[in-house]
Structure 1
Amino acid sequence: MVFRLRLITAIFVARAVMWLVRLLGRGRGSSLPGMVALRICPGILAHLARQARRGVVMVTGTNGKTTTNNMVARIAGEAGYRVVVNAEGANMITGITTAFLRKASLWGRVDCDYALLEVDEATFPRVTRQVRPDLVVVTNFFRDQLDRYGELDTTVSLIREALEKLPGTGLVLNADDPLVASLAAAAGGEVLYYGLGEHRRVTSSSSAAREGRFCPRCGQELAYAYYQYSQLGNYRCPGCGFSRPPAGVEGTEVLPEERRTTCRLRSPAGDYELVIPVPGLYNLYNGLAAFTAGLVLGVEPRVITRALAGYTPATGRMERFRYREKPVLLNLVKNPTGFNEGLGTLLSLPGPVDVLIAINDNDADGRDISWLWDVDFEVLEEEHRHVNLLVCTGQRGAEMAVRLKYAGVPLEKIVVEEMSRAVERVLNGPGKTACLLATYTALWPVERILSGYARRENRVESLPSVS
């Protein structure tokens, strides 16, 4: 009786907080309602999550969590399932609780088939103590926010130890990342791998940070037949023999284009063409992870490929706008590997390109911005003719400008501006296209300013079954 009273009170107050946040225009209310509800009724998340009729899917890893989870949500919606999903990327325990609260009745009933939850790596052990997943999808592991996560092996250990306490939980793992593939040893249920085969854009070397290129079993440096990017590729340990496992779902014949990426896909259910309507090899990995999860959920492969072909990115995930006749791309950057891939996309755009880089150092971004020195900004010196203007903004815009200076970017191309003026300057620059790169807490104000000037071309999806 006491729990029931706490539950109803928590839901009522959380709903009031949601309404108030939106009324005051103070954000999307994706975390605060959950925080309040957990204070009132600490057991509310476990209670609500148990009501997912067909089970709980969790997506974790460094990059691609939001995109992969939202792709899985679209697949489930296309298949006719009702889902709970934290689509905005609020992946701490408060944001996950808020996702359930949005679907809950005032009496604490949740009508859903699946709970599809993006979960922060450091939060994963805590969440799994309250919500037992039936399937866990792991995207990749890269160095990210040392002040929050610590060294990379600490993050991997946290996930491994949590998985060891989940007997019967299935895993979908990235075969091309040795750190992710090593988690199979902790699996309590079935493991299915996804990855990319060799194609004409693989490389024989990689200049990215090397932490992930040592054998997770014996510590020797891995030998690579080829790299996709960073430590992702076809690897083998010369010491203990640990190697890339065969991928049950594998992409081949990769064809990157300006607005989409396609590949041939080989799977246990047959061969298909996979079309991901956003650019970037990393988004193709997200699509492969989502396809594999869809198979595990029992969705028909043609339904999966149709859902992925119609996917619309969340805010700041390769989101396209148009200002007058000028194409504009908005993308989140949060660690060296993700930033390097963003720079690769920038340099593939029709040039010259006007560029905005917005760097904040709030808690959600990571207070330590030394990671910027691990980003390969030196490519902008080599390709500086492709870039018309680099406008730095945000709380650490000046430090970003210094980093570009030491990367060898011509000084006349580097500008530091207040955020509103920075967005306006980039939009009105003489370049053919504009590319806006922002850390997490800078992303939302940049998007809000940008939306006041430009029209969104690939609108964020809002399916009733996915909200």
Structure 2
Amino acid sequence: MKFYFALWFAKLMGLAIKLVSKDRGTNLPGEKALLIDPRFVKHFKNIDYAKVIFITGTNGKSSTTNLVTHILKENGKKIVSNLEGANLLSGIATILAKEASLTGKLKADYFIFETDERYLPLIFAQLPAENMLITNLQKDQVQRNGDPEFIIRKLKEVINPKMTLILNNEEPRSRYFEEIAGRTIYYGVARHEESFIKEADYPTQGCPKCHHDIIFDYYNVDSIGAFHCEHCSFASNKTTAYEVNNIDFAKKTFTLKDVVYQMPYDLPFMFYNYAGALAICEEICGVPAVATAKAFENFKNIGGRFEVLKYKNKTIKYMRIKQENPDTLQSALNIMASDTNEKMVALGLYVVNDFVPHYINTFYAFDCDFKPLIESKVERYLCFSEHVSYDTANRLIYEGVNKEAITIMDSDDIKTIFSEIDKAKTDNIYLITWISTFEKMKKFIEGGQN
């Protein structure tokens, strides 16, 4: 009866929240249900754990979850998934309560869940999935995660011989788990025209097996690419069964298993999401590559990840990044640097305030290589936000940017941001900021203020 009361309460709360705002309540009903019944998720009926797929890792799990769910639905599968991005136990409890009958029965072909890597053992204890994709494990949210080695230990608590792992072939920490899984599937991305190398003095990462330096032959995105360890011979495979190759940026196409796909987003970090999603769909869900291609034609990623705004005669290219690790910032810098046209760069880096204590994260910017961006025809820089604007400007100055080329704005006032954009001679604007600030900018434009 405790379970039923928790379920009905969660359903009613979910309906009430939906009446107030469709964009809220991805955690709250599940949080309250778990207070009533701490084993709430464990008590749902008709869940075949062989049909449950966890998608975890530092970067890319939301996009990959979204793509897998989209492909499977386009191929007629009934899917239960936490697409809103609530990836803790309470978020999963919320979506299960929403999708279940009044007696707790669920009906789905597959359960696809984005899962927070730190709290995965708590989720697994009630929902022992038999399939898991690991995107990558990078330095991230140091105030709660510490070092990636800590996350490796957390994942080791749940990986077992009964589990099928889908691993990123070109990310050392993801590949590290190959020896403890019951079955291993690899995915990857071939070298392409935007792959790059780094100078020898640029810091690398330690081998997860022997802790000597990993040597990257090249990078497809920051910290991910063909690699090897000269000390213990741990290395990426030369080819994988699920490899994105023949990437054509002009035609926006790629090939996997001799099937040509239309790229909905021609961003290098998305290629790994494509490869991982296709590995899941074929190997776990039985949807062959040839049947998945059509789904790419109408795929739209989670709102705000990469969007283009038209403002007067200018084009604003917005990149939403996770401002809690250096890899996503580096990927954004690389994308901007690859644009050889003159540009303005607006950087709104913020205080990290997802939980107490809040802190100002400035060292990630020093983990990143700004040099290619600085050398790529930047007309002007705008550093804004209440607490981090001066730190951002200092990082640019350390890299050699003339102070006269930097505007510092210690707020995120929308009108002031646009007044600075107005001053730019170039019509090519790149923007990094919180999604909330971006949404305000979007409303400002849509409100006819341009």
TM-score when normalising by structure 1? 0.84
Offset of 1:129 from its aligned partner? 1.2
1:78-157 equivalences under 5 Å are: 78-157=74-153
Q: How far, CA to CA, are the matches of 1:90 and 1:351 in structure 2? A: 39
Secondary structure in structure 2 of the residue aligned to 1:232: coil
The residue aligned with 1:461 is none
Counterpart of 1:447 (choices 424, 428, 438) is 438
Question: Is the contact made by 2:337 and 2:372 (CA closer than 8 Å) also made in structure 1?
Answer: no
The 3 A distance-change label for structure 1 pair 232 and 354 is: closer
Q: What amino acid sits opposite 2:210 in the alignment?
A: C
Q: What amino acid sits opposite 1:108 in the alignment?
A: G
Counterpart of 2:57 (choices 51, 61, 65) is 61
**Sequence identity (%):** 26
Matched, 1:336 2:326: yes
Q: How far, CA to CA, are the matches of 2:275 and 2:95 in structure 1? A: 25
Offset of 1:228 from its aligned partner? 2.4
The residue aligned with 1:326 is 314
The residue aligned with 2:431 is 436
Offset of 1:115 from its aligned partner? 1.6
Offset of 1:305 from its aligned partner? 1.8
The residue aligned with 2:396 is 404
The residue aligned with 1:34 is 30
The 3 A distance-change label for structure 1 pair 124 and 236 is: same
Offset of 1:184 from its aligned partner? 0.8
Deviant stretches of 4+, over 6 Å: none
The 3 A distance-change label for structure 1 pair 3 and 49 is: closer
The 3 A distance-change label for structure 1 pair 319 and 95 is: farther
Matched, 1:225 2:213: no
Secondary structure in structure 2 of the residue aligned to 1:171: strand
The residue aligned with 1:274 is 261
The residue aligned with 1:351 is 342
Q: How far, CA to CA, are the matches of 2:298 and 2:140 in structure 1? A: 30
Offset of 1:66 from its aligned partner? 0.7
Offset of 1:253 from its aligned partner? 2.4
Q: How far, CA to CA, are the matches of 2:187 and 2:336 in structure 1? A: 27
Secondary structure in structure 1 of the residue aligned to 2:188: strand
The 3 A distance-change label for structure 1 pair 411 and 204 is: closer
Offset of 1:323 from its aligned partner? 2.8
- Tell which deviates more after alignment, 96-105 or 246-255: 96-105
Uncovered stretches (5+) of structure 2, i.e. residues with no partner: none
Q: What's the CA shift string for 1:350-394, capped at 9, x where partnerless?
A: 5323424242320269735132221223444333x3243323125
1:226-241 equivalences under 5 Å are: 226-241=218-233
Counterpart of 2:175 (choices 160, 173, 181) is 181
Q: What's the CA shift string for 1:315-361, capped at 9, x where partnerless?
A: 23112333345332222223211101101222344532342424232
Q: How far, CA to CA, are the matches of 1:277 and 1:427 in structure 2? A: 28
The residue aligned with 1:458 is none
Offset of 1:5 from its aligned partner? 2.7
Offset of 1:136 from its aligned partner? 0.6
Question: Is the contact made by 2:346 and 2:429 (CA closer than 8 Å) also made in structure 1?
Answer: yes
The residue aligned with 2:305 is 317
Cα RMSD (Å) of the superposition?
Answer: 2.8
The 3 A distance-change label for structure 1 pair 239 and 249 is: same
Q: How far, CA to CA, are the matches of 2:355 and 2:421 in structure 1? A: 27
Offset of 1:261 from its aligned partner? 4.7
Matched, 1:74 2:70: yes
The residue aligned with 1:250 is 243
Secondary structure in structure 2 of the residue aligned to 1:403: helix
Counterpart of 1:288 (choices 275, 286, 289) is 275
Question: Is the contact made by 2:65 and 2:113 (CA closer than 8 Å) also made in structure 1?
Answer: yes
Question: Is the contact made by 1:393 and 1:419 (CA closer than 8 Å) also made in structure 2?
Answer: yes
Q: How far, CA to CA, are the matches of 1:423 and 1:28 in structure 2? A: 28
1:355-366 equivalences under 5 Å are: 355-363=346-354
Q: What amino acid sits opposite 2:179 in the alignment?
A: A
Q: How far, CA to CA, are the matches of 2:83 and 2:431 in structure 1? A: 22
TM-score when normalising by structure 2? 0.87
- The count of corresponding residues between Structure 1 and Structure 2 is 437
Q: What's the CA shift string for 1:244-298, capped at 9, x where partnerless?
A: 13411112222335xx8532223xxxx1123321132111111111111111211
Secondary structure in structure 1 of the residue aligned to 2:9: helix
Q: How far, CA to CA, are the matches of 2:445 and 2:73 in structure 1? A: 30
Offset of 1:202 from its aligned partner? 3.3
Q: What's the CA shift string for 1:21-66, capped at 9, x where partnerless?
A: x18xxx5222223222222232222334853697211111111111
Secondary structure in structure 2 of the residue aligned to 1:57: strand
Counterpart of 2:158 (choices 162, 165, 169) is 162
Q: How far, CA to CA, are the matches of 1:426 and 1:184 in structure 2? A: 50
Matched, 1:373 2:361: no
